[in-house]
Every structure is written in structure tokens, then in C-alpha cells.
Amino acid sequence: MTFQTLDDLDDGQRVLVRLDLNSPVEDGTVHDNRRFDRHAETVNELVDRGFEVAVLAHQGRPGRDDFVSLAQHAEILADHIDHDVDFVDETYGPQAIHDIADLDGGDVLVLENTRMCDDELPEENPEVKSQTEFVQTLKDEFDAYINDAYSAAHRSHASLVGFPLVMDAYAGRVMETEYEANTAIAEKEFDGQVTMVVGGTKATDVIDVMTHLDEKVDDFLLGGIAGELFLRAAGYPVGYDIDDANLYDEQWEANSEKIETMLEDHRDQITLAVDLAYEDDGDRAEQAVDDIEEKSVSYLDVGSETVMEYSPVIRDSEAVFVKGALGMFEDERFSVGTAGVLEAIADTDCFSVVGGGDTSRAIEMYGMEEDEFGHVSIAGGAYIRALTGAELVGVKVLQR
């Protein structure tokens, strides 16, 4: 790791801290999520060490229903750190500058949604972002900049990449731990078996991850829509759209050659589902893949036999990484695959990282504890990029 962390920062300074508090919004109400709890660790440490803290964060995108003020986020953050958190409805206007100047040691101030600034959103080079009015106005108000928003580190936005070019810059605790865990598969050496559970809805993501990690991973356990497309490539009559669905055929057309090549070149590393689950009169039903003559139902999970085959592989592994769900786990009937492999990981003394979109939500939903896993990532797009070896621009500027 080649960036500075909070361990390198002297106490009691005024700091600008970038968090990722982006949350679900329903009817204008911001919902609490695990990101608040994670970032609270960084904020609490800064408060305890007497820093004057101003928080930058984003919410939604212009034109969408979830594009709202951060006023509610300030209240939620206050609950998580058990400390007063003030809010100002400007990001770098006169009132924001005034409130920043009024900060005392241990104070926390949330600035308004960064995406309400014209300078924030366009994806541009860090050098361009560092010269924006947004960055140039705030940089002289602080002693240091701290980026804790690993989950947004793949975005070249002003609040993420501009400040490190013009200020002393440090990684917060979330940035530090996410980076270490999510790059471990590429950077750590494991003596025993390395297994990766790969699912989700995007075949391209799965192919990119598997292609990049084919020399690091001994066994890929497949599920989800991507897993069904691999079954199609293996000659089974699944992985097709039926009725009005639009999940498979377009992805197959775009990725079939790569999937077929991967199966041909790495068949001994790829384990496919042996049965699939579907809805039958409101209940869960399962069908062996070998018994499917024609796809006539939508498959919503891998089957119980598949979980029984995947679990021993996990238990024999020294390291297990999870990218994506094996089924529609939000519906308890179709949680067997995702919850089953997570339970096997929790029961195994191995190095483990769980991430990829909302997959990690299944841990809490099905009665498991985060401390049963090595690391549970709150990152989506950044996690995928880390697994595929793609550059994270928000990390790169910290490493300068």
C-alpha cells in the first residue's frame, strides 16, 4: 500500500473528509444502510483525536428521484457516531465557508450533496478537476484531505480526485481496509486452494473477473444469470429468454464467444450448477440440469444439490472470494444458493471477502454476522474493478 493513512496524520487539524453515504431513497426518505456504520469508524476516530471535520458526500444523480439533500444523511450519521453533526445547505458557498471556519476540535459538519455542484460530475482528468472552482475554493480552508469513499473510487469526480492534487491527502479507515481486502486476491500468496463464488446478473463482469483471475483461482463456482449462460455454453437448454424477459439473449449474443472459449480453456477450474430452482404454484421447486429438455420456466436460484456440491469446495479452501449472488436471495424461497455458500464460508476458517453489489446484504438478512467473514465489502463497481485489475482513479491519486 503506497498511500498515507490516518496513522500518518497529526491530531487536531481541520480536515475535509470524503465519505460515500449514497443510500436508497423512498418517497423522499433516506434509508439507513451499512455505509454509515462503516464510515462512522473513521469519523469517530477523527472526533476522538480532536479534528475539525467537514464531510463531503454525494446522493443520487440529477434528474433521478434519489437526488436529494444530505440533511437527512447528517442526522443518520449523528446516530451512528453518537455525536452531534451539523449540516449546511451549501457545498462551498459563503455560508459553508463561514461554518467551516467556525469548527472547533471534535465538531462534525456535513456539506451539501457534491453532485449539486456543476464542477463535480463530468468524468474528467484529475488535473482538470483540481482546478475547478469547487476544489480551489475549499482547499485553503483545510489542513488535509481524507478520502474514505472506496466504493466511489472508480469515479473521476472533483470531490474524489481533485483535492489530492492540491492538498496533503490521506486514506480513511474504510478506504484502507477495502483496498487491502479487495486487492488481496491479486497481491497475496495463498498456499492452499483459492475459490471464487461468481454470480450476479452481468455476464461481462463475470467474464472479466474470471479472465483476470484465472491464474489465481483454483475453482470458480457459478450461479445467477451468468451461471445460466455458462450452462448454455456447455450445451444445456437454459440461458434463454422466455415470455417477456430480457435477461439472457442479448448478453449471450455479446459474450457467447468469450464464454465458450473460457469453458474450453478452463473447464477444470469451472464448476457449474447441477440443479436450478423455480417458482411452482407459489412454492420453490427444483430441477436437475440433466433433466431439462426445454426451458419453460424462469430459474431464480441454484438448487439444493448444487449447494451441497459447492459447500465442500469452500470448506477445503484457504481463501474464498464472492462476487455476486447465486439467485434472487431477496425472496426467501430463492435464497438457498446465496445464503448456503455464505454459511459455508462463515463455518470455514479461511480468508474471505464478500462483495459485489447487494450480495453482502444477504449476510444480515439470513442471520449471519459480518465478523464471521474476513471482509464484507460495501463497494460495488469499485470491487469489480479491483477484481479485474482495472485502475481505481480515486486510489491512484492518493498514491501519488
d(CA 165, CA 145): 10
Instruction: Give the helix/strand (H/E) hosting 278.
Output: strand 275-280
Mean pLDDT calculated for residue range 71-95: 98
Share of the chain above pLDDT 70, in %: 99
SS3 217: coil
**How high is the pLDDT of residue 24?**
92
On the question of pLDDT at 88 being above 90, the answer is yes
Binned at pLDDT 50, 70 and 90, residue 43 comes out as very high
**How high is the pLDDT of residue 356?**
61
Burial class of 324 by CB neighbour count within 10 A (0 to 12, 13 to 18, 19+): buried
| Residue among 115, 131, 133, 129 at smallest CA distance from 158 | 129
| Category of 370 on φ-ψ map: left (φ > 0), alpha (ψ -120 to 50) or beta | alpha
> What grid cell was written down for 271?
464448476
What is 68-105 written as a DSSP string? --SHHHHHHHHHHHTS--EE-S-SSSHHHHHHHHT--T
d(CA 287, CA 291): 7
pLDDT tens for 258-272 read 999 999 999 999 999
**How high is the pLDDT of residue 244?**
85
Check: CB of residue 166 under 8 Å from CB of residue 130.
yes
Nearest 5°: the CA angle 368, 221, 229 is 120
On the question of pLDDT at 358 being above 90, the answer is no
**How high is the pLDDT of residue 1?**
59
What is 131-186 written as a DSSP string? TSHHHHHHHTT-SEEEE--GGGTT---IIIIIGGGTS-EEE-HHHHHHHHHHTHHH
d(CA 234, CA 168): 53
Check: CB of residue 217 under 8 Å from CB of residue 169.
no
Binned at pLDDT 50, 70 and 90, residue 167 comes out as very high
Total length of the chain: 400
Q: Could you tell me the pTM of the whole model?
A: 0.90
Check: CB of residue 146 under 8 Å from CB of residue 170.
yes
> What grid cell was written down for 142?
483545510
Check: CB of residue 113 under 8 Å from CB of residue 107.
no
Mean pLDDT calculated for residue range 128-156: 97
Binned at pLDDT 50, 70 and 90, residue 187 comes out as confident
Instruction: Give the helix/strand (H/E) hosting 195.
Output: strand 193-198
